Amino acid sequence: MILRAIALKDARETALTSCGSGTIYDIGAVYTGVKAYAGLHILSSSTGGLKVRLQNSSSSGGGGMTDVFAFTCSAQRTAQWLTPLTTGTLSSTFQRFWRSVHEMTTSGESYKFVPFVRIQ
């Protein structure tokens, strides 16, 4: 059961209109027996498509960010839930600092969305 997820970018109220990276959050230590869950809610959309990736790093400064989850590009309201990573699929690059990165496929787009992660 997931008790709490951490939103890595909260764009529910104000739509984003350009590519960018979210704030880096310290989600906590990764240890044997954990699972990493990821989800994305696209609440409103315009033309083109939105690509969202979740990255992590051992540095709170964002150095050496590694893609961990990549959501399917979408041009519509949707929700996605990715297969959880387990200690069997987590690598040594799996770290405690996380952020989201969003890219829009054409100019003039506008999206409201919330990507989230949970380490359990």
Over residues 58-99, the pLDDT tens digits come to: 888 877 888 889 999 988 888 999 878 776 666 555 678 889
72 contact partners, CB below 8 Å, separation of at least 6: 80
Give the domain ranges of the chain.
Answer: 6-119
Nearest to 21 by CA among 13, 11, 30: 11
Structure confidence by residue, pLDDT tens digits, 88-116: 666 555 678 889 999 998 888 889 999 99
CATH 2.60.120.1110 applies to domain 6-119: yes
